[in-house]
Structure 1
């Protein structure tokens, strides 16, 4: 349904679909990768950039540029900067998590070593900033300023996430603040960069940022939800992974607050064990999530963030066709099952 609706919308308004923009972006990425020397610096960069992924953030940069009546081509370098930063953060996240796999393949630090992962990640961040040099001074300044703000917020979000691993008193508000910084702000920034390149008004830039940020919140909560209640056939990874690793997501925090004392105590116990066969643990946690109302409240929160994003369309200087495209995109983003 999602792909069919996007295709119909694109044809109706003569706009490139998100899938088309993603393909154009991948072509640009593949022709822009530095394959020079030293190989142990640039090969890991090429490796992680070609592992695949949704490419959602850079595609949103291109889409936003188009929506504000400018060619996506102008935003290709800004989109590549977003993708470089995102993958830089993934390399370092994998090192911190000691993760062996990324998108089903060996992580950079496993394939090479930790030092290579750190250095290649650092280089990706620098290369991202260099891409802004392709723009006129004012555009360069605005892109770099937004990028720096977003980068430090993502780092702060990652630190909050690390801190929360050792805390048993994380509040729902703290968790939402963490995913706002770790995930949502980069979605907002990706869209605002497209608006900056298109020379949209300051009002529209701020509105599209908040649109993207609210969708980023919905997207992350949907990820948390699908990890527990998604269809294993379409989700693309093991359902219950967060439960197996005792990750205290929004679902867990709601359930902990809303459960009976007995269920709350059982939930704490379940999140303190690591059985060899986690099937019974996953099912027990899911029952508590449903009984406590955490499942339904998470779905409600996802819907609220999406509705808030859509309301922001009224603050943008876009024609009705553009607003319709963003509305369809927002509604289908939270209807996804992958």
Structure 2
């Protein structure tokens, strides 16, 4: 367990280092042309002050470095993706009615829906401008726009399907798996983007694309596990979203089902309720099967990367996949 924690801490430090320059540039671009409205400006300042994203830019740089991409091109690609994912982040909070996330008010929760939509639009526009300014050859630029367009369209479809599934009294696990696979598209796009702007071969491109899809699924699944541990997030998932995947799996377990349903039916879930729910999930044999699926995904991603030449970036990408099991694999 300590080894997993040490690995995760080291990875966070590495990803922060590999993302810091791009995040600094992205913040400067957004602050250089502030909204004219005082409320919108305050909302933009608020988002930028709390803006922390190391996964998307980190994946782009690791993938790009693994196939010898130009460092400056990588940074520009990171800046573009930081803005585009920020746009979807803000809009996600509106769709999910998330007023608070990670202990802080969202832009939607603090400034309301109208301002949040405008802030999301600003990030989206600036993101595509940054993408246009990549400065790669026309053929590669066409591939980049095609990649980003398809990835975010797939992500949008994932959210549309998720909204539809909210109407179900009991969400089928197979349907939610489909949502997770579709949500992985933006992480797959990070890795593919790093490959496209490099001199990657067709084989290397395919390896990185496959890795990106798998690690994307692992990231989404890990976030679902984290939501179980946070009372505020769990309350919002129960009220406005689909239940986290580990809860759906545990509800299929006859030994834990009634206890979990009792907790979920409470009007106000407390920290002690969360502790009890986590205990039920960790005892569930069905959830152990979910963890086993995640372990298999990790093995697949690590093995897939063996097809790339040995490098520090390849090793870090493998470690990133392994870190997705931190604090989860003890369910075995």
SS in 2 for 1:50: helix
Contact 1:218 1:301 in 2 (8 A): no
Cα gap change, 1:239 to 1:97, in 2 (>3 Å): closer
2:200 aligns to what?
200
For 2:323 and 2:250, locate their aligned partners in 1 and report how far apart those are by CA, in whole Å: 27
| 2:200 match: secondary structure | coil
* Aligned mates of 2:327, 2:284 — CA distance in 1: 24
1:259·1:288 contact (CA, 8 Å) conserved in 2?
no
| CA contact 2:101–2:233 (8 Å) conserved in 1 | no
Q: RMSD across aligned C-alpha pairs, in angstroms? A: 2.9
Residue by residue, what CA displacement relative to the aligned partner does 1:43-74 show, whole Å, maximum 9, x if unpaired? 64454233132421112112221221123221
Q: Tell me the distance in 2 between the aligned counterparts of 1:46 and 1:128.
A: 17
Task: Count how many residue pairs are aligned between Structure 1 and Structure 2.
Answer: 316
SS at match of 1:258: coil
SS at match of 1:309: helix
Q: Are positions 1:88 and 2:87 aligned together?
A: yes
Change (3 A) 1:120 1:52: closer
Bigger relative CO (Cα 8 Å, ≥ 6 apart): 2
Report what 1:329 is aligned to: 320
Relative to structure 1, the CA distance from residue 55 to residue 49 in structure 2 (aligned partners, 3 Å threshold; closer, same or farther) is farther
- Going from structure 1 to structure 2, the CA distance change for 1:50 and 1:73 (only over 3 Å counts) comes to farther
Match of 2:7 among 2, 19, 28: 2
Tell me which residue corresponds to 2:168: 167
Gaps of 5+ in 1: 8-15, 231-237
2:3 equivalent in structure 1: none
| Structure 1 Cα separation of the partners of residues 34 and 217 of structure 2 | 39
Matched residue SS, 1:319: coil
How big is each residue's C-alpha offset from its partner over 1:130-184, in whole Å with a ceiling of 9 and x where there is no partner? 22222231221111101000111111111222222221232222111112222x2
SS of corresponding position for 2:266: coil
> Could you tell me whether the CA contact under 8 Å between 1:240 and 1:282 is conserved in 2?
no
Residue 67 (1) aligns with residue 66 (2): yes
Change (3 A) 1:81 1:309: same
SS at match of 1:273: coil
The Cα of 1:244 is off from its aligned counterpart by: 7.2
TM-score, normalised relative to structure 1: 0.82
Paired residue for 1:27, among 24, 27, 34? 24
CA distance in 1: counterparts of 2:266 and 2:128, whole angstroms: 44
CA contact (8 A) 1:252 1:294 kept: no
One of 250, 267, 273 as aligned partner of 2:260: 267
Q: Aligned partners of 2:21 and 2:118: how far apart in 1?
A: 29
Are positions 1:249 and 2:244 aligned together?
Answer: yes
Q: 1:284 Cα deviation (Å)?
A: 4.4
